[in-house]
Structures are given as structure tokens and as C-alpha cells.
Amino acid sequence: MTHHDNHHDDHHDDHHDDAMRDRGQATTEYALILLAAALVGVLVIGWATAGGGAAAVGRLFDAAISAAIDQLG
């Protein structure tokens, strides 16, 4: 194997390592996004089911239905 061949193999290995590192970073980012979405969902459900949250959701739904009926009428 010549010196040039070794350099080529090293470059290939570096590219492979970079690709693996990028894939791992993307996986971590997806996991963090999913955790953030789950947290937002839990907070919204907690707000909607506790205290006045349920009434607020009901008012929002009523307003949306009224607006839709007004648009159709």
C-alpha cells in the first residue's frame, strides 16, 4: 500500500466518523424535540383539566363553533 492509499483510507474513515457523529446528534435532537412536545402536552392537559382550564377550553370551543356558524350563515 502506498502513502497515497493510506491517506485516502484515513480520509474515508474521517468521513465515516463524521457521518456517524452527525447521525447521533440528529437522534439526540429528535429525542429532545419529542420530550419538549410531551412536556407541552402534559402541561396543556394539566391546565385544561385543573380548575378553570376546562371552562376556558369550553369557551374557546364555543367561540370557534360560533365563528364557523357565522361564516356559513
Residue ranges covered by each domain of the chain: 3-72
pTM passes above 0.85: no
Cell 480520509: give the residue. Answer: 11
Q: What is the pLDDT of residue 10?
A: 60
Report the C-alpha gap between 50 and 46 in whole angstroms.
6
Q: One digit per residue, pLDDT tens: the chain, 73 residues?
A: 555 555 555 666 677 777 777 777 889 999 999 999 999 999 888 877 776 666 777 788 889 999 999 988 7
φ/ψ of residue 28, rounded to 5: -65, -40
Q: What is the pLDDT of residue 8?
A: 52
Q: What is the pLDDT of residue 31?
A: 94
Helix, coil or strand: residue 38: helix
Report the C-alpha gap between 37 and 31 in whole angstroms.
10
